[in-house]
Amino acid sequence: MHNKQYEIIERRPTVLEHKTLWEAVGWGNVNIDMTERSIDNSVYAVVVISDDQVVGMGRIVGDGAMYYYIQDVAVLPDYQKLGIGQQIVDKLMQYIRLHCVGAGFVGLFASQGEEPFYEKLGFKDYSPGMTGMFTVIEK
């Protein structure tokens, strides 16, 4: 059994913390300038601290009223499978429930293979009736 102690704190990750977690979970390289602006514009965020180190994060982006997107839920590999990811999502959903003006739409993109994790938290794949789509603008 794992006996890692950790605490969830309501704050945005720093750019370096975000970069470290992003790369540790295999999401690729980070554009620091873009990341800084993105983090600054978050609606809400949490970090998970263990032994004075950030080991997890999650944030919400959106309009703060009706549309919310859960973004950047990441936990260092050594801290995965301890329930930390679920606690991060629970904390983000708690914020949304408190601040949503009426019926709210909460979306996210799951990394391949992580769909069951989000399904057990109430998220559903609505295809083929609805599909999530996106495009990337390169500069």
As annotated, the active-site residues are 118
Return the ∠ at Cα 100 (arms to 18 and 128), rounded to 5°.
Answer: 80
Contacts of 26 (CB under 8 A, 6+ apart): none
Which tokens sit at 93?
A: 């959903």
Phi then psi dihedrals of residue 74, to 5 deg: -145, 140
3-state DSSP assignment of residue 130 = coil
Give the C-alpha distances (Å, rounded to integers) separating 50 from 85, 96, 103. 14, 25, 35
The Cα 68–Cα 47 span in angstroms is 18
112 C-beta neighbours (distance < 10 Å), count: 5
